[in-house]
Amino acid sequence: MMMLKMMNPMGSMPSVPKVGGGDDENKMSKEEQQEQEKLRQDAMKKAEKERRMKYQKQKEEREGESSKIRGKYGIQKKPDPEDEEEESEGEDDGFGPKKKEEEKDAITAAKEAAEAKLKDAQSMMSNLFKF
């Protein structure tokens, strides 16, 4: 008997779903499918909320332990990198020459833009007719 199974590879193969899709999906109405999807989404949101709460609690516990150690040894807390970015947005980094901020009126800016476009068009046309 074992020899026959070895000779016939399809004999021991598990059932394969049909190519056209299963009939199980078609048994539920569209409303039922939407309700199932809504329930699935709600479960995912709940699980994500629980996960966030778990990690927030762990973070608070670590921060408490760290503050005890900092207090014991007199170490100051380093500022969060996120807070530093918000504070330093308006500050210069101190490297390179300082840029002068010139405010151009609308007419001058429009004139310069038009001249730049004209130069681009002229250079494009001259490149087309080079021999």
Across residues 75-86, what is the average pLDDT? 72
Q: What DSSP string describes 50-98?
A: HHHHHHHHHHHHHHHHHHHHHHHHTPPPPPPHHHHHHHTTSS--S-SPP
pTM over 0.75: no
Return d(Cα 114, Cα 107) in angstroms, integer. Answer: 11
pLDDT tens by residue, 45-71? 999 999 999 999 999 999 999 999 999
